[in-house]
Amino acid sequence: MRFSRFELFWLAELQRQRDVSDADQQADRFRLTELDAKQGMTEQLLERARRSAERRKDTQHIGRWQQLRRLLTLIFALLAVALGIGATQAVLNQPQPISLLFAVSVLVVPNLIMLLLWALVAVRRNRPVGVTASGLQLLEWLQRSSQAHELGTAWLSHVQQQKLLQPLMAMLSNGFWLLIALSSWATLLLYLSFNDYAFHWATTILSEEQLHTFVRLAHYLPELLFGATLPELSAASAAANFDNTAGRWLSLTVVSYAVLPRAVIFSAAFLLFSLRCARMQLDLNAPGHVATVRAIEAAQRPTRNVDADSGREHESLTFRYASEGKGEVSLSLDFEADPNWRGDENYLGVVARQQDKKALLDRLDKEPAERLEVRIAGSLTPDRSSLRYLAALAARTRRLTVVLVKSAGTTYLKQWQELLEQHEVTYVDTE
C-alpha cells in the first residue's frame, strides 16, 4: 500500500506510542538491520513505522479509517448542501412580496454568528472542537476496535504535533459553512433567475431609522465589492425594476457575507495546512523515538573486534618451590604502602626497578631462601608481570608468603586473593 506523507507521519506517531508503552515487544517485532543506513534518521523511522504497520495489518485499519472519513465528509457535505437549499427555500416560500430583511436574516446572519463563535472559541484551540470533535468521535464509534482507537489517538497526537489541527479544523468548519452558503446562494440564483418573485422592505417593530442603519450596514460589502445597487428604501417602492434590483442585491449580499468570508478563510486554512504538511518533521527527542534512534544507531554502528583474543595458553603459570633454602628474606614488591614500615634485618626494601628485580633473582639463584616474604600493596592492581615475578621468586625459596598491605579507599585485595588462591600461594592480610 502506498502512503501519503501525512499518513506516514501518522504511522510514525502510532509506532512511537507503541514504543513508549511496550518497547521490548516492538523491538522483537522489527529487526533494525532491515533499514537502509544511508537514509536519514527521519526517513528510517518512517520506513520502520510503515513496515511495522504493514505487518500488523494496520494498513487495513488505515484504509478503513480513510474510507469512513471520506464517507463522513460526503455525508457532512450533503447535509450542508441540504441545509443551504432548505434555507433558501424557506425564504422563497414566504408569502409574496418577500421581506428582504427576513431573507437576509435567514441566509446570512446564522452564518455570520457561527463565524464569530468559531473565531472566539475554536481558532486557537489545539484540541478538536465542533464538527471535528464530533467527526472524530463518530469515526471511532463506527469502528469500535482497539486498533481504531489507537489510530485515532495517534492521529490526534500527530496533527497536534505538526500543528495541523488548527488549519484542519478551520477547513472543516468553514468548509461546512461554505457549502451551506454556496448551495443556498446557488438555489437562490436558480429560483430568482427563472421565477417571478416580489420583494419589499418590511418591518413591524423597527423604526425607520433602525431599518436604515441595518440596511446601510448590510449594503456596505456588496457595494464595496460588486458595486451593487440598493433597492429603493423609500415608501414609494413602486419603482418598475424594484424586484429585479432587490433580487440581485439579495444574491450579492449572500455572496459577500456568507460565501466570500468562508471561502477566504477556507483557502487560507488550506494553504496553511499544505504548507505545514510540507514542513512536517519528526521530533527525534520525543519519548519512544529517542530509544529507537539509539537502537538504530547501535545496530548500524556496531563495535568491531579488530584483533581478537588469541587465548591464554601462554599465560599459564606454575608455582614450583625450591627443594632447599637458607635464611629469610623479605621485600616490598613495586611499592610499600605502609609509610611506617621498617621491616627487620632481613628486609631488602622496595624492589621496583627491572634491574633490581633481576638482581634479586640472580642472588636467590645462588642462594635460595628458606622463607621469602613479599609485601604487596593492595591498592595496586595485580598484573601478569607481578605474578610471573612471584612465580620466579617461588622457584627460589622453600616457602613463599605474600603479605597484602591494606590501605584506605578501594583496593584490589579481593583480586589479589583470588589469584593467589588460584596458585595456592600462602598470603596474609595486614590489619
List of residues contacting another protein (CB under 8 A) = 20, 23, 40, 126-127, 160, 285-287, 290-291, 294, 297-298, 301, 303-310, 314-315, 334-335, 352-354, 357, 379-385, 388, 408-410, 412, 414-415, 418
C-alpha cell read off for 367: 642462594
Closest CA to 156 of 272, 9, 285, 50: 9
In 3D space, the residue among 346, 347, 327, 328 whose CA is nearest the CA of residue 338 turns out to be: 347
* Closer of 45 and 192 to another protein (Cβ): 45
If the CB atoms of residues 365 and 418 are measured against another protein, the closer one turns out to be 418
Q: How far is the CB of 16 from another protein (least distance, A)?
A: 12
Shortest Cβ 380–another protein spacing (Å): 6
C-alpha cell at 423: 596458585
| Closer by beta carbon to another protein, 236 or else 306 | 306
> Which CB atom, from 21 or from 94, has the smaller least distance to another protein?
21
What's the DSSP call for residue 256? Answer: I
Cβ distance to another protein smaller for residue 326 or 353: 353
CB distance 233 to 212 below 8 Å: yes
Report helix, strand or coil for 193. Answer: helix
Nearer to another protein, 234 or 354 (CB): 354
Those residues whose C-beta lies under 8 Å from the C-beta of residue 218, and which sit 6 or more positions away, are 104, 108, 253, 257
CB 184 → another protein: shortest distance, Å?
A: 27
Between 40 and 95, name the residue whose CB sits nearer to another protein: 40
In the complex, least distance from residue 403 CB atom to another protein, rounded to whole angstroms: 18
* Dist CA 148 CA 67 (whole Å): 13
In our burial notation (b when 16+ CB lie closer than 10 A, e otherwise), range 335-354 reads: ebbeeeeeeeeebeebbeee
Closest C-alpha to 197, from 207, 187, 212 = 187
Collapsed DSSP state (helix, strand, coil) of residue 168: helix
**φ/ψ bin of 322: left (φ > 0), alpha (ψ from -120 to 50), beta (otherwise):** beta
Q: How far is the CB of 278 from another protein (least distance, A)?
A: 23
CB of 18 to another protein, least distance (A): 14
In whole angstroms, how close is the CB of 42 to another protein at the nearest point?
A: 12
